Structure 1
């Protein structure tokens, strides 16, 4: 056994390629060779957190022994979860000013709408995005007391979902939250952290899912608005197209999809209709599309 297969020594080129192929098949995420150092460090942490001493024994158990705990630890280590409240909030402005009024009108108007308006944040990371949506609706949407709204968050990483459920945040996450909102909805819990109001936490339903997993994504249906920001950039062409198709299947005809500012659906799939709003581009599932 070579030193390259030992925890702490980094992977050999052959091991890195085998690992890259395996992780891509399981998640749709493919790491470029430039990410070698990042991947090596995270795998080393996974091995140290396990009962195995080498990459060879750890990787064999990961692939051959159906060890879901090893795979989840790996996913949690390798997925990036950079977020904060009210990030790219011009899109929340667009949701409030244009998208939700259009959704309400398309579904029969505020007095006739049947069923909840459904909003999905995916990936939701530690919860800042879906909770930001809830805060904006509570504070700024005049129909929030008249209509039933469901807010859902989903992520592939189980550890960030646990943190989202607890909803305790530091100053960096809260830097853009107005003081009035912080005083109203957050309570200090020590160590410079603040916990979100229990009522808002309970209003957001959290799920674990991989957006490229077509079978798992079939549980998501009839969403009116989806935020899927800054995740498609981590996928190759095939995985991005699969993710787009799964998002399409989760939406009502006419529903809206928000992507990150550096992402473009037109480069991935023609199934969505780009729509220019005052605040920027959003993508719609065509209204005449069959389910």
Structure 2
């Protein structure tokens, strides 16, 4: 696709215009190494629109009243590869160390005020927050004595709709014990299973951009946040802004889990790294404002 037609690659100038705009709106930075991916996805967006050229499509995209159009582009350009119980050693750490420490810091089971709050961001199609719910139900002995809120958030409206429906194929469920599938899922078609309504209703979903500081202020007092494999898509400035927003969303003493290839020490010094038997987790310091 050129500035005057579709079907070939963006010009260098068009690529720079688009990626600068997308970065300002989302914090996601695409380098020239992602040219093929970006070109292909924008070509799809234009072909699915009423516009014939990149210039007319991009002009419409930048209009203030085209937020629905921007959301469609975000949905095309975000990657949502996930499955149940992914990197579950971190769920082990949550159950064995993080939640007991959280309860102790908040006065113990009998004195805790308010729910334990857990956030999955980005939650994609829902496998991560539902995995958290399953692990708590099956393996956390305090689940019958402590209120827990599980929240999921993502910038992509299409994956959030899928998360709300919570219907998954066998590939997504390949690591889930068969007994759990039988207990917590209902077969809804050939090779597809839906999370039971009781668990779906226990997970609250939000559309959220982690780099939107004003919007992220709605998230406060979380005890645990899973933010895995998203900061790698940000440049230094966006990563730092995201880190500050995550810091603000945590309760003092709260815990942040990143992806195995991510390190907060390379982004911001505001978190305290804590080494657990299962790996590194990052804490908002107690007493921090």
Q: What range is the shorter-chain TM-score in?
A: over 0.9
Question: Which residue does the alignment assign to 2:199?
Answer: 200
What secondary structure does 2:201 align onto? helix
Question: Which residue does the alignment assign to 1:142?
Answer: 141
How far, CA to CA, are the matches of 1:114 and 1:104 in structure 2?
10
Deviation at 1:64, TM superposition (A): 2.6
Deviation at 1:255, TM superposition (A): 0.2
5+ residue gaps, structure 1, are none
CA contact (8 A) 1:168 1:195 kept: yes
* Root-mean-square deviation over aligned CA pairs: 1.0
Question: Which residue does the alignment assign to 1:276?
Answer: 275
Deviation at 1:245, TM superposition (A): 0.1
Is 1:224 aligned to residue 223 of structure 2? yes
CA contact (8 A) 2:2 2:54 kept: no
Report the more deviating stretch, 65-74 or 177-186.
65-74
CA contact (8 A) 1:244 1:269 kept: yes
How far, CA to CA, are the matches of 1:36 and 1:131 in structure 2?
34
How far, CA to CA, are the matches of 2:246 and 2:112 in structure 1?
23
Question: Which residue does the alignment assign to 1:266?
Answer: 265
Deviation at 1:8, TM superposition (A): 2.1
Question: Which residue does the alignment assign to 1:177?
Answer: 176
What secondary structure does 1:200 align onto? helix
CA contact (8 A) 1:5 1:12 kept: no
- Number of aligned residue pairs: 289
Is 1:38 aligned to residue 42 of structure 2? no
CA contact (8 A) 1:4 1:10 kept: no
Question: Which residue does the alignment assign to 2:127?
Answer: 128
CA contact (8 A) 2:2 2:53 kept: no
- TM-score of the two chains, using structure 1 as the length reference: 0.98
CA contact (8 A) 1:5 1:55 kept: yes
How far, CA to CA, are the matches of 2:60 and 2:52 in structure 1?
12
1:1-291 alignment runs, 5 A limit? 3-290=2-289
- TM-score of the two chains, using structure 2 as the length reference: 0.98
5+ residue gaps, structure 2, are none
